[in-house]
Chain A
């Protein structure tokens, strides 16, 4: 059990079974693997009867991090080898499984179950089980407090502090021509520089043609460059909408951190999936959600983004309020921070 079997042992067995010389068996085995490798690169999929299918699966580029240094790094788009075992191989090799058990949420009949449980543990007391009377409902002496949301007395959530530290509102807009590009605006920079090159080439062409030597202005190149660069910035989305399948260990916070580079933007995802996600703190495995696109950059969001995020925080606030979650108030503060006017639209819509 759990021994390491190398290809040599498989080849030995092959030679014995087919009664062929060992070198021929080794050559055959090498050829099979070589053909699979070549077919995989050429066609993207190779099927072997009773073994399974090897397939190339494209992986989109994303931001990851180096687990040892916690450093952010860009993972380029690439292809991954995935293997789907054939049913025959799974039936033969995998140990048998127990069937899945449905999780049933019991209706609220706790009083009868506690009565039954008490009756079960108290039969030995003289006089039989004690008569059970319904426990009086505990009533709160103070009426439910209507929370008025003044920002001053509330503690500022840590996420908000982190956001102000990033200067997300006061940061100057990206201008690709005069400053070194930031990490995530590389595409803008490339687009801008291509545009600048084109404009420069056109100007050079104008200069070289003798008729237009006199009336070629000197200032316009810079202006034109700036205009094309800003146009490129305006049309470029930071993140496009995509579908995502939940795996074990996922949370909205973590997904937002990976895809938007800022975990505090998680309500953007929550808002787009309110039909399938009720509790933002629980995601079931295998659920496919939509990760909406970001129009602006994570630290200079567009107006639509901010409104959506504010609405997401407000929906989270409404949910937290019904469950008495401690984060209900901070969710509301965050909603106000992003867009104070967005909450009216949500509350009228519901």
Chain B
């Protein structure tokens, strides 16, 4: 685990009530992932030691919540919502267009490591469907044309 994060974690811990040590698992993992891009084995061991929680707790959490990744993703992590309102506004076509354009299957990454394409469940943005998330930022009211334009802007 990146030792530079410890002072940040100490400050975060201080904001919680005293006996809330276990609560830090989720926010610390989020921060570690922001920092490294994914969660590595040494992060699990390091965080378990820092928080004094059993490492199985961290492993359980990592496998339960969909936002954590235990391996790297492409430079641009694309997630297309596949739930009801987005499907009703063309997200299936959007996904098909992306698969074809990037030459990947859903869940896959381009060989050059630039793009990883996944699906997501409802993102709470149904009014601006179809919605795509790119590196945690919502891109709303998407269409195949807008996707092409967006991809063109990404390096």
Q: Do A and B come from one complex?
A: no
